[in-house]
Amino acid sequence: MPSPPRFAQQLFKWWCKKADADDLLGDMEEYFRYNVSKKGKLRAQMIYIKQVLSLSFSYALKKRKRSASYSNFYSQNSIAMLNNYFKIALRNFSKHKLFTSLNILGLALGMSICLLALSITVSIYRSDEFHEKKDRIYQVNTYIADDSEDKTYASTFNAVGDYMEGKYPFIERSVKIKSGFRPEFIHHGNPMRFHGYFANESFFDVFSFPIISGNPSTALQEPYSMVLTESVAKKLFKNEDPIGKVLETEYGSFNVTGVMEDLKQTHFYFEILTSYSTYEQLEPNSTLNSDWENYRNNYVYLLLNPNTAKRTLTESLTQVSEQAIEFNPNRTIELQSIILEDVVPRWNVSNALGIGWDQPSLMFFMFIGLLILLPAVFNYINLSIARALKRAREIGVRKVVGAEKNQIKMQFIVETILLTFLSLVGSIFIFIEIRNEFLEMVGSASVLDTSLNFTLVSVFILFTLLVGVLAGIFPALYFSRLNPIHTLKGEITNRSGSISGMKKGLFVFQFFLSLFFIIGVSAIAKQYRYVFNNNHGFESDNVLAIPLRDIDKQVAINELKNHPDVKAVTTSSNLPGIFLSGTEEMTPNDLDTINVSQVFIGENFIENMKVKLAWGESESLSKSTQNEELVLVNEQFMRSVAVFNLQKDSLTFTLADGTKCRIVGIMEDFNFEPLSELIDPLVFRHSLEESNYALLTINSPDIKKTIDDLDDIWSSVDQKVNFEATFLNDEIETAYFFLTAQIKIFGFLSTFAISIACLGLLGMVSYTTENRTKEIAIRKIMGASSNGLYFLLTKDFIKLIVISAIIAIPFSYVFYDMVFLHFLIRYGSGLGIIEVLLSIIFLFLIGFVTIYWQTSQVANANPAGNLRYE
């Protein structure tokens, strides 16, 4: 027999509120059944809905609602009831310790990643709140559209700052910032590289960064003045006062004019600041204040006068845009402003200053967190409903003594919320433990303040409430719908023998996720091994790298060569296998330029490092003349040049600095940089002066003694320069730090996913076996063997794990082999079958141990005792 449309019934009940409308519903249902038999189901449902609507507005119901509203003896949930719910919940928790601890642990693990994502999100949204004038500071953005692109840039034209400050009186100050200041300090013989911005003198007036020493309004005035952050100052000067000190860099010598506190909670990301006038001096040919063409890496912040409407700014920016279009005729240009607090996170903006947090990556992070949390929530729902048998009688009694459906729902939601709050305590502990580890991986996240403050804790509590309601709503609905008569008679259908389709789906999802992450870990670990077991196209074993610094290079090399264990010595400007910084431009013809990496090498580099030549020879490298330098290039270089289809001698070219080069040899392509980098056009030039490292090929029975000997030799050449030797292989290993970070992240996630999946498995297995105790006992008495029982109890679960593996394998293959690893390591070895197999075996093992642990208790128990169970 069909029943009336549920939603219409629910709607009607809701509309009736407290009024008793049981008989009305009954009448309608009776009529509905009559209609079904006469006119068919569909017509009957239509009529039912019509009835509901007309009854809702009829006198009959209005009268009932009016009279019901006078009675006040019955309220939905009073404090006393809530107290009772708490008490019952706590008793239940302590009664079912396994269930409680499984859920608390699972939810705590799941929530901790979300807390991490939340804390980062919150602190990013709260960036730049500390500036006193934050309501009046705007960043100027540039929207540029032409044939090839259509983007909004956080940066703007060089001329905008000066132009606007001069033209519009409502602008109080403007701050001009240029990014990309990366000087290398030579400090006590050690080179140190810091990154920072060029900023004009109004920087500290507009922004409220705390200054420790120095005059904030003049610190960035003079050319070659520099402001350090506290940690940089500590690194360079220990406890000395840095003000007035001179720092030598490749840009020239800088005066330290101020020290500011380390950055906290801001979208800026720099270690040092130098004055904008420095940039003008470094680039004397550029006319910054009339440049309406370059818009990259140049940022303008405007401080408006108090009480200036945003519209005034918008209007003036429209005028300035027109000015900009005059210089860029083929483009659509629109200057926009964004208030300081909204600068991060943005949805999509190019060339952002500083860390440039964007909303998509925050959402992705949150998504990962939820991906871990959801299985834990599912576990809770599963386990709670699986326990229905145990709680049903309680619900029955409650209903009989007058509990409403809503009260039962309330009870379960309160109980779940209580549980999630217990998990919150646990997950905050986990959160604190993993926070620093994680922030280190993100790198620039150090400016974020993720310590527990009021806002963060409130966000956590809100989040926990949400999780509690979400996890509690399903058990609540299930329990509130139970029929009291059935529950009291113990007639709840015992579905424990089989697991419902939804639960099966959940299992498969959980194990799929776990397997996916485990395969991720092993895939990256394989790349890690691959990187070190395969050479990059040069010899890195037994090669000692020694930074040359200020020592007399020729003398040092000659002396080192004399040691009997040193087989060969060469030098180079960059260590092979490490990232190269920056590129040079070269002009194959007179019009175009291509970017090439250049490396300076000493004698015998090619022979010692066993780099293969495809053509030519390397002997004559040192025979360069004044007019023409002899160089080596790689095959990629030749390919890049070939694009231009030059009609002249392809073995000569000119570098951007004017050096004329002639190619004497072509190297086979090899990975001079880590395997993640594309093989770029590469030029090897010969120069001992430019070399920074000595590369010693060692063959020694006692490596420690050899290094000590070399140290002595070094000191005999020059005592002032530190001797420092590392193996090239170790240096290469540190260059792959990004892989280590990835392994850590995937390790984290897979541990969490596996733990949660196993907790869920454990819970389900324990409850299904518990519910089948009697059945097992009877089977045993009838003569079932232990092995047969294991098989019986585990086969369902094993089947599910197998299904999840079948789904996970092709998915992981496509994801890791074709997408992820390709981005991570361009020249890697891909995903191997062994890794996948090992991952599956690992997961099976864990799953099986979990199942076995539970089933063995039941299978080995005394059947006589079990028959008396319950």
Partner 1 sequence: MKGTNLGEFEELVLLTVASLGTEAYAVSVKSSIAEHANRIVNISAIHSSLYRLEDKGFLTSEFGGATSKRGGKQKRYFRITNTGLVALQQSKDLKQQLWKTIPQLSFQLV
CB atoms within 10 A of CB 344: 25
111 contacts: CB under 8 Å, gap ≥ 6: 373, 376, 420, 423, 424, 427, 463, 464, 467
**Nearest-angstrom CA–CA distance, 257 and 242:** 8
Which CB, 51 or 139, lies closer to partner 1? Answer: 51
Which CB, 59 or 823, lies closer to partner 1? Answer: 59
Least separation in angstroms between residue 493's CB and partner 1 is: 19
Contact (CB, 8 A) for 231 and 192: no
Does residue number 252 form part of the binding site for partner 1 (CB under 8 A)? no
Which CB, 11 or 784, lies closer to partner 1? Answer: 11
Does residue number 15 form part of the binding site for partner 1 (CB under 8 A)? no
Comparing C-alpha atoms, which of 683, 662, 666 is closest to residue 614?
666
Residue identified by tokens 């990154």 is: 195
Residues 11, 15, 19, 33: which binds partner 1 (CB under 8 A)? 33
**Nearest-angstrom CA–CA distance, 115 and 434:** 11
Does residue number 54 form part of the binding site for partner 1 (CB under 8 A)? yes
Does residue number 491 form part of the binding site for partner 1 (CB under 8 A)? no
Comparing C-alpha atoms, which of 795, 775, 797, 802 is closest to residue 861?
775
Which CB, 36 or 410, lies closer to partner 1? Answer: 36
Residues 17, 63, 95, 799: which binds partner 1 (CB under 8 A)? 63
Least separation in angstroms between residue 416's CB and partner 1 is: 30
Which CB, 29 or 358, lies closer to partner 1? Answer: 29
Beta bridge partners of 301: 139, 175
Which CB, 34 or 579, lies closer to partner 1? Answer: 34
Which CB, 396 or 475, lies closer to partner 1? Answer: 396
Least separation in angstroms between residue 362's CB and partner 1 is: 50
Least separation in angstroms between residue 412's CB and partner 1 is: 24
Least separation in angstroms between residue 15's CB and partner 1 is: 13
Region binding partner 1 by CB under 8 A among candidate stretches 31-39, 75-83, 628-636, 773-781: 31-39
HSE of 849, CA atoms in CB hemisphere, 13 A: 9
**Nearest-angstrom CA–CA distance, 773 and 791:** 15
Residues 30, 129, 261, 585: which binds partner 1 (CB under 8 A)? 30
Q: Sign of dihedral through CA atoms 674, 680, 686, 688?
A: negative
Least separation in angstroms between residue 22's CB and partner 1 is: 5
Which CB, 20 or 619, lies closer to partner 1? Answer: 20
Contact (CB, 8 A) for 105 and 361: no
**Nearest-angstrom CA–CA distance, 329 and 333:** 9
SS3 553: helix
**Nearest-angstrom CA–CA distance, 524 and 517:** 11
Q: Where are the beta strands (DSSP E) in 325-484?
A: 332-339
> Which tokens belong to 349?
């903006």
Which CB, 51 or 275, lies closer to partner 1? Answer: 51
Residues 7, 42, 43, 60: which binds partner 1 (CB under 8 A)? 60
Residues 6, 22, 306, 720: which binds partner 1 (CB under 8 A)? 22
Comparing C-alpha atoms, which of 252, 271, 253 is closest to residue 262?
271
Region binding partner 1 by CB under 8 A among candidate stretches 47-55, 71-79, 508-516, 694-702: 47-55
Does residue number 275 form part of the binding site for partner 1 (CB under 8 A)? no
**Nearest-angstrom CA–CA distance, 284 and 278:** 10
DSSP helix, strand, coil percent of the chain (3-state; round to 5): 55, 15, 30
CB atoms within 10 A of CB 132: 10
> Which tokens belong to 510?
């959980």
Instruction: Quickly list DSSP for 554-620.
Output: HHHHHHHHTSTTEEEEEEESS-TTS-----EEEESSSS--EEEEEEEE-TTHHHHTTPPEEEE-SGG
Which CB, 23 or 590, lies closer to partner 1? Answer: 23
Least separation in angstroms between residue 23's CB and partner 1 is: 4
Query: Tell me, what amino acid is at 108?
Result: A
Which CB, 485 or 814, lies closer to partner 1? Answer: 485
Query: Tell me, what amino acid is at 368?
Result: I
Does residue number 31 form part of the binding site for partner 1 (CB under 8 A)? yes
Rounded to the nearest angstrom, the gap between the alpha carbon of residue 700 and the centroid of all alpha carbons in its chain is: 45
Which CB, 26 or 505, lies closer to partner 1? Answer: 26
Alpha-carbon torsion angle 539, 542, 548, 552, nearest 10: -100
Which CB, 69 or 581, lies closer to partner 1? Answer: 69
Least separation in angstroms between residue 2's CB and partner 1 is: 12
Least separation in angstroms between residue 4's CB and partner 1 is: 8
Least separation in angstroms between residue 31's CB and partner 1 is: 6
By DSSP bridging, strand 594-601 and strand 682-686 are parallel
Residues 14, 59, 70, 73: which binds partner 1 (CB under 8 A)? 59
End-to-end CA distance of the chain: 37
Contacts with partner 1 by CB under 8 A: the residue count is 21
Does residue number 26 form part of the binding site for partner 1 (CB under 8 A)? yes
Cis-peptide, bond into residue 588, ω within 30° of zero: no
Query: Tell me, what amino acid is at 447?
Result: V
Least separation in angstroms between residue 12's CB and partner 1 is: 11
Residues 140-179 that bind partner 1 (CB under 8 A): none
Least separation in angstroms between residue 483's CB and partner 1 is: 10
SS3 242: coil
Least separation in angstroms between residue 61's CB and partner 1 is: 8
Least separation in angstroms between residue 26's CB and partner 1 is: 3
Residues 5, 13, 15, 25: which binds partner 1 (CB under 8 A)? 25
Residue identified by tokens 């004019």 is: 257
H or E element at residue 175: strand 171-181
Residue identified by tokens 């960036």 is: 127
Least separation in angstroms between residue 7's CB and partner 1 is: 16
Does residue number 45 form part of the binding site for partner 1 (CB under 8 A)? no
Which CB, 28 or 843, lies closer to partner 1? Answer: 28
Residues 8, 16, 28, 259: which binds partner 1 (CB under 8 A)? 28
Region binding partner 1 by CB under 8 A among candidate stretches 18-26, 81-89, 631-639, 801-809: 18-26
Region binding partner 1 by CB under 8 A among candidate stretches 57-65, 193-201, 564-572, 851-859: 57-65
Rg (C-alpha) for the chain, rounded Å, is 36
Does residue number 3 form part of the binding site for partner 1 (CB under 8 A)? yes
Residues 8, 16, 24, 566: which binds partner 1 (CB under 8 A)? 24
Which CB, 151 or 481, lies closer to partner 1? Answer: 481
SS3 833: helix
List interacting residues with partner 1 (CB under 8 A): 3, 22-31, 33-34, 51, 54-55, 58-61, 63
